[in-house]
Each structure stands twice: as C-alpha cells, then as structure tokens.
Chains A and B, each alone.
Chain A
C-alpha cells in the first residue's frame, strides 16, 4: 500500500472510528454542545500557522491542546461552571481565529478541504488514531463509572481528574484528525451525530460504541465517495449523511 492510498483510505476511516468512539462518551457526558465549541479553538491556531507558513493542522492541534488543558484546569481548580468557560473562551477563539485567517483559507479551515496529505502528517494522524482508539478501549470501564458517579469511581480506585484530562486530550486529538477533511465547524458534528444516533439505537453500552463507529464510518464513506460524484464538498456531505442516519433512527425508535 502506498503512502497516498494510506492517507486516502486509512486516515478518513480511522478518523471516523475515533470520532464515533470519543463521541459516545461526549454525548453521555452531555458535552454535545460544548464539544462543537471546543473544536472552534483550533481556528486561531490554524490562522497563526498559516501566517507563519507552518502546517495548519499542526497549528490547530497545538491550539486544541492548549484549550483542552485550560478547560480541564478551570474545571478542576476553580468553581466557574464549565459551560460558562467554554462559552466564553471558545467563542473568543472563533472570533480571533477568523480575524487571523481570511478568504479562501478561512472557508477551508471552517469546512475542510481534502487533498493530498504529506508523509509526516499521515504518520502523525495514524499515531493519533491508534492513541484515541486504544485509550477508549482501555479506559471505557473507568469512563463509564466516572460518568455515572465520580465519587463511586474514586472509591473504586479511579483517578478521576487524570481520567478527565486524558479524555479531553483524546477528544482534542480526534478533532485535530478531522481538521484537514471536515474543518473546524464540521468535525464536532462527526463526533456528536453518529454517537447521538447510536444512543437511540443501542440497548447497551458496547452496542452503542459499535453502532457509533459503524455510522461514523458509513457517513465518511458516503461523503468521500459521493462528494466528487455529486460535486459537493466531502465534508458537508459526510455530515449531511450522518444527520440523515440520525433522523432515520428517530423513525426506527418510533416504530
């Protein structure tokens, strides 16, 4: 397999799998809106990287990691409600980011612009995919207990603050994986929508994880292969497909 075919097939599907898995916990932790806002923090990083002629995805990743640690610290060290922190910090990031980025570049940063991906970025992407998937599979029991009761998790020996930080970092990496393909505005949706759909359909927790991964992958395949055929951007079509699955799941649930 060549590097080009790797980046064309494995990266999008790996991104989808990571998004589906991380999304399940984001949805169950009631982070649906917060995670959309969190994705926006990548924008000033992308803008800065473009201004300095660096790789925009790396700039976005750096901004995401800084934003994540900031949210975690504010949540654990102060009594300011997380919702307020996220609302202020990330809306500000979007505003500053759109001043730093302009024209065509801004559209690409917001909605994604798939193209050939370099070897270094592919390797980094694969490493991020492996990290996110391994983290979710290894930590899922701890994440479930902490979700239901952080206090009960502590008495079971779980370091809840550390787990929260690792989860947020995995979340930031997942957003970064989608910056190239889906952009700042749409990647949050690929994390949230398939997981929200899986939640409607699944009877148990492992079922939800499997369904979310399958739906995120199917949406990505529809977007990436259908986009060129329909002459629309693959990112928007991916999210439209994911939303389509969501509405279908409502029908199924009613039935």
Chain B
C-alpha cells in the first residue's frame, strides 16, 4: 500500500526538554491512525511537527500532492470577537482561491447549520466550534485530516455523534485520518493503527496489539482499563 506519510527518527526539543524522541512510523493511504498517550506525552507537538509549525530533527515525508486539513485541539478565542463562522470560512476560500460555494458544502459535511455559521464564533458551543474548525479543515479537499482530541470540550451526549461524523466524512472524502484521542474504547473500534506515546518511549501497531492492559500500563504508568461499547471489558 502507498504511504501518505513517512516519519523517521523524529525528535522535538524545546530548550533542554525533549518532548519527542526518535519516533518512526508510516501511514498508508486511507488508514485511520489513532495517537494516544498520557497528558504531556507530546501528541499535539507531534501534529505541530508534522505540519511544520515547530522545529524538529529527523524526517517527515508527505507524499507529493498531499493536502493537509488540520483541526486543532482548543483555541483561545475571545467571546466577543466580531468574526462569524462564515467570515472565517470565507477567508479560507479567498486565501486558497476556491469558490464561495465550497463554504456551503463543507458546512454540510461537518454538520453545522448555516444559521449557526452566521453567528460570531465566540458564541458557538464547544462542539459547534469544533465542527466549524472541521469545516475549515475540509475546505479545499484535503487528502489527509489531522484531528486533535475530537471529544475534548464536547458534551457527553455529543461524543459518539462527532466520531460518527468523522467516520462519515472520512469515507465520503476518501481521507487518510490521523486522530489524537483519549477515548480508548472508540480508538479500539475505529482505528486501523495505534501510535502510543509514553514517557519512556513509544509503540506502534494494530489496536489489538497496542491496546492490551500490559502495554497500556507500561505506557501510561498506571493500570488502564477501558470499556468496549458492546459491553466487553478489555
């Protein structure tokens, strides 16, 4: 299978602190790679290195013609910023020279109602704002979607909805998906590969191999149990 992304011996350092050390993995086209790990293990920093926003050592090689859509974890937005969702999406349409009609299409894909998109972005709920960011990332037909913490800041009843939506968008658009998540049960169900970042090292493989109680205890430093949604306990 063709690789969309190859990462070889990637390290990221901030001053004397090493955040990522000697990381290597590859992502095939159409795959869903879940990135898990305890807080502070460098998941978000990995994304920032992949999109070239932090300096790194090693190799990050994207396949030619790759277009990246990036949905960040959380943004520090002022409540009364007079920028609407439509303003934000329209700005991307202008910058990337795509038709304004694209705005309607990506809003539909992300499941955000047009009247909500017309509100100032500070007035949106956490889940609505995340859908707006997803719509922004989907504009211009990306081939790869990087999604940081899809469930952070979303109310409990909305969680499954957002995951189901990401799956639907992935299938509709034929996307390769890189997903940072804390929801191990959802990772188990949806991911085709898992990259677990731990304080002492990392491991990479299919969910059944990485998401074992022994492995997780080793990576997280505490016993981790997670509930499968069909009632089983791993």
The binding surface of chain B is classed by DSSP as: mixed
* Contact of A156 with B95 in the complex, beta carbons under 8 Å: yes
The binding surface of chain A is classed by DSSP as: helix
* Contact of B82 with A199 in the complex, beta carbons under 8 Å: yes
B114 at the interface (CB under 8 A from A): no
Chain A residue numbers with a CB within 8 Å of B86 are 204
Segment 175-220 of A: residues with Cβ below 8 Å from B: 198-199, 202-208
If A151-B48, A151-B53 touch, whether A207 touches B82 (CB-CB below 8 Å) is: yes
Segment 106-158 of B: residues with Cβ below 8 Å from A: 120-121, 133, 136-137, 140
Chain B residue numbers with a CB within 8 Å of A28 are 78, 81, 83
Segment 75-94 of B: residues with Cβ below 8 Å from A: 75, 77-78, 80-84, 86-88, 90-92, 94
B68 at the interface (CB under 8 A from A): yes
Distance in angstroms between the alpha carbons of A28 and B88 in the assembled complex:
14
Chain B contact residue count (CB 8 A cutoff): 32
CB distance from B125 to the nearest CB of A (A): 17
CB distance from A176 to the nearest CB of B (A): 28
* Contact of B82 with A208 in the complex, beta carbons under 8 Å: yes
Chain A contact residue count (CB 8 A cutoff): 28
**Most chain-B CB neighbours within 10 Å: which of A79, A156, A158, A207?**
A156
Name A's B-contacting residues (CB within 8 A): 28, 30, 79, 140-142, 144-145, 147-152, 154-158, 198-199, 202-208
Q: What would 28 A/B residue contacts be, using CB atoms closer than 8 Å?
A: A79-B15, A140-B91, A142-B95, A144-B91, A147-B83, A148-B75, A148-B83, A148-B88, A149-B72, A149-B75, A150-B53, A151-B70, A152-B133, A152-B137, A154-B52, A155-B69, A155-B70, A156-B95, A156-B96, A156-B140, A198-B82, A202-B82, A204-B82, A204-B83, A204-B87, A205-B83, A205-B84, A208-B82
